[in-house]
A = this chain, B = another copy of it.
Amino acid sequence: MTAVQGERRAVVLLSGGLDSATVLAEVVHQGYRAYALSVAYGQRHSAELAASEAIAAHFGAAAHQVLTVDVGRFGGSALTDQRIAVPENGADEGIPVTYVPARNTLFLSLALGWAEVLDAEAIFIGVNAVDYSGYPDCRPAFIEAFSALAAVATKSGVEGHGPRIEAPLLTLSKAQIITRGTALGVPWPLTVSCYQADSQGRACGRCDSCRLRREGFLAAGQVDPTRYQ
């Protein structure tokens, strides 16, 4: 990583899914040097991490870090605990068992540390509060609270040049995200959204995330390029 005078840097949280791939495309489109950050947090499968590498390479990210944080040891989520089944019967009432405790707080914390070292202008995260699973840490109130925290938590924040927290998909529907991503050239076949993809990244077609993705392509009037098991 060589610092280039005057370059605008952004840290982008990259899961390997449809949303964060669109965010990375947006960041590159806006002229930032993109520093992609993925987290191996004990998720059931590693297909999404492989996807994040391919996507970061596709968009020419300046760097891509994959940090391992084994919060799966805490348990409590269907996404990290093999003993809790991923629901396949549509969205339940309330916050589903696929919720990973404090996940986006953790992801933004890691991004904040890296952003500070890079003196990045912004941190981008692909959370969405429209076609989503009802997770508390995907809502505008969460992004606002983390922004307020970042301003007081860091040296750069206290000095007045801390990173902004940007969530460009926050109020878009899944169909709008797909339309935008297509315009920006997101390579959809590389992305993996499924909560229980197989080792080749093929989707189950039954979980909440698969359902939202399929309905999104349908509503956007586009061919669904997802590879199913």
Contact = CB atoms under 8 A, between A and B. Distances in A.
Interface residues of A, number: 44
B76 A116 contact: yes
Interface string A129-140: 000000011010
Identical copies of this chain, number: 2
A149 B146 contact: yes
A141 interface: yes
Interface string A32-71: 0000000000000000000000000000000001011111
A52 B108 CA distance: 26
Contact of A68 (B65, B70, B100, B114): B70
Interface in A101-135: 101-106, 108-110, 112-114, 116-117
Residue of A65, A117, A157 most packed against chain B (CB within 10 A): A117
Given A74-B113, A139-B152, A142-B152, 12 more contacts: A67-B73, A69-B110, A74-B114, A101-B112, A101-B113, A101-B114, A102-B153, A102-B154, A104-B153, A136-B158, A142-B149, A149-B149
Interface of A: 65, 67-71, 73-76, 95, 99-106, 108-110, 112-114, 116-117, 136-137, 139, 141-142, 145-146, 148-155, 157-158
